[in-house]
Each structure stands twice: as structure tokens, then as C-alpha cells.
A and B are shown apart, each in its own frame.
Chain A
């Protein structure tokens, strides 16, 4: 009987907790957050139509949207978006994967730290864009040089956060594993990796941001497709609407992928006793 009532109380508590995320509050958030951008858009559109801004330098929003819409109708837009997305995704995967592997080794084993960390720190001090000419020389202007460049950009933030995360794991938790006779592998997989997950996810999110930055660089350097290529096309054909259109698309895609990661982050870090989870 007692158990039953306890359970009832518990499910009720859970429900009130979930209700914090229900609609009224989200609506309010969206409403508040969109006041400023909407006002700016209206001012922009209005001043363009009144001739205050010169439209050959800064076209009004409706023209930009119209241009994007036309490209979407012709079908060329999807090819550009798809190519860019694939490049970012491939580079992001390669960069993250290698960073997690090397970061785990460096963070967990002193010998790897002494062996690998100095050279990685040395490479980190090279601005990654400086690699571009070399990569193009080595791999041509094909896909591989672009993907590798993006991977290099993604690698460093993920690596740094992975190492910092592992170093910050509470020794006391590791001792619990030792009491139960865990092997090194079990300690890494069952304690160290989950404990450093918050830091790793922070690294992955900033890595993705850099990935988007580097895809622009890679596509500006030489490409026949992609949103970065559209930027160059816009520059060469004196069409600022194309440039601004692809900037907007970059913003939307970047925001969307970041939101996706944030969603995963929130899902997998619900256990965290943090300020954000308390609000």
C-alpha cells in the first residue's frame, strides 16, 4: 500500500517536471525572441522600398527570398545545399571521430599525453586556413581536400574538450570502479567516458561551428557547387541578393545543425545537476 502511494507521488512529481516544457512557455520564448529580428526586417524592407538604401548594394528581403525561391524552383538550390551539407557532415564525422579516439588516449594515459600532446599543440598554433594551399596541392580541388580541411577545423575543439573532460573526471568515482575490480577498459567505458560527456558535447558543438566556417573557406577556394560557391558567383555577377541569400542559408543550416546537437545534448545530459536543468 505504502509503496503504491509512494509511486503515485513520484509519477506526479515527474509530470509537473515535464510540464515545464509544455507550450505556453515555449510560445512566450519564441515570441520574445522574434520581436527584434522582425522589427529589423520590417525596417529593412520599408527603407529599401522608400529608396533610403541603394538596392544594388543591399537588396530588400523580399527580393532575396524571391531569388532563393526561383533557384529552388529551378532545382539548382538543392544541389548546392546538399553538396555543402555532405562536405560538412563528412568532415565533421572524420574530425570528431579521430579527436575522440586520440583525446581519450591522451587524457587517460600519461604516456600518450607526453608523446602526442606536444605535437598536437604545435599544430594547433597554425591557423587552420593556412593548410588550404597545401591540401589543394596534395589532393587537388576535389572533395577530399575540402573534407580534410573541415575535419582539421573540427578536430581541435573536440580534442581539447575531450582531454579536458577526461582530466576533470572525479577521482572518487574512478575509485568506486577500482573497488569493483574494473579493468582499465571498463573504467574508461563505464566511468570516464560518461563522466566526460558534458565536456565532449561542448567540444562537438564548437567543432561543428568551426566546420561551417571551414566549409565556406574550402568552397571559396575552388568549387563548382555548394553554398560557398554561390557566394563567389554572387560576387562575380554583381548580385548581392545571391550573396545574402547564401549567407542566410548558411545561417539557417548552421543554426539547425546546432539545434540538433543541442537537442541531443539536452537529452543525454538530463542527469546533470546543473543550473540549466534546474530552471
Chain B
């Protein structure tokens, strides 16, 4: 699906960014990218999305169709909710839009402008927009970090149900270990400045998982020690 070979992208005299990252992703996998701030997680995603061209190394997508969701909703303020959802679509496809709006729980709010939406609603609109083109891969850059805990759990569940329905490959950058444990099959730990791929953790528990699962809790401790938080604090 995706193979990344020794990709590097650094700024500021190689102080920030990531370097020498290689991995492969299979179709339908959910990959979490975890790391402390400044280790280049988001930059990695931007490079893979084609938004940052100044990298070295090589990566190839097997399929071109990529959807992306950012940390902020990034809705077009002059478009209504339904127009925003349909933003990436060519041609008319109102029925798909309405279906997706129902899926993310925004039926009845089609005609509102982004300024009238709450943070959670805006992010759900952004999710619907990322899904509307039925991408084979979705890149998610800390997508739920700005929404409240309750909405966050809802959206994670929603993401999981979409994964089940369409077997979408997902790359999820996050700093929330619980989120990664709940959603991902594999977790890449980035560490250092510039960040390097330090460890790959495989989580084989079947999804949906129980958030309070004991096994997951032990994995969390493992990840915490890997992230080496002591050094940064």
C-alpha cells in the first residue's frame, strides 16, 4: 500500500523534523504515529500527503486516493456544512453528502455556516469531507486533539466503524496514547530531535477494544517508558 524508504525532512539546521524513517503499510492497517512534540510526526504526515516537497528519500503510494484530516477543521468559511463536505468532489453527489452527514451526526445542520458550528461539529464536518471521496487512505493529523473528551470518544468510535465498513487504511498522528491503543494495529514511536523511528509496537487485540482493558494498560506503560518522557520533563 505504502512503502517509505529512508525519508528525511529537517529544518533549522537539523534541529527539528525527522530523519531516516522507513516503514511499510499494508492495506486496511491502522497505523498510529506517537512521539513527543517536535519529533516530526506532523511533518512526516505532511510529506506523505504531498504538502511538503522538500524531503529526501523515497516513498510510494500504491493508490493515489488520499484523504486528510487536520488538527483544525479547516472548513471554508464561505461554504455551508454540506458544501464543505462536498468540497473535494467532482460533479454532483448530494445523496452521498447527505448520507455522510447522517453518519457523523450532522443531519439537519446542512445549511449552517462554519461560524455557527461548535468545535466538535466543525471537526465532524471535516471528517465527513475527508470521507466523501471514499479514499483508500486517510491521513489524520491529531484530528481530535481540539475536541472535548466525550466528542473525542464518539469520533474515535465513528472512525472505527468507517474502518470496519470500508477497510480504509489510516495513518494517525497523535499524542494521545489511549487513542492510539484504542484504534491502531501498529504504533510507530518517534523519538529524538530530529525524530527517528525508534520502535514499532504491534497491538493484535481485536477491535473494538475495551478502553479499560488490562492488557492495553500494560501496553500503555510500555509506550510511556519508550517515549522516554523523563528526559524531556
Contacts and interface: CB of A to CB of B under 8 A. Distances in A.
Interface of A: 3, 6-7, 10, 172-173, 175-176, 178-180, 190-191, 194-195, 197, 270-273, 277
Contacts of B68: 179
Nearest to A175: B51
Contacts, number: 55
Interface of B: 49-51, 66-68, 70, 72, 74, 76-79, 87-88, 107-109, 111-115, 133
B121 to A, nearest CB: 12
Nearest to B67: A179
A179 B77 contact: no
A105 B127 CA distance: 33
B78 A10 contact: no
B107 A195 contact: no
Contacts of B66: 179
A195 B109 CA distance: 22
Contact of A272 (B74, B115, B133): B115
Closest 8 CB pairs of A and B: A273-B115, A180-B88, A6-B108, A271-B113, A271-B78, A179-B68, A194-B78, A7-B108
A180 B74 CA distance: 13
B70 A172 contact: yes
A109 B155 CA distance: 39
Nearest to B112: A10
A172 B51 contact: no
Contacts of A178: 50-51
A180 B114 CA distance: 20
A278 to B, nearest CB: 9
A8 B50 CA distance: 43
A273 B77 contact: yes
B108 A272 contact: no
Contacts of A277: 115
Contacts of B115: 271-273, 277
A202 to B, nearest CB: 16
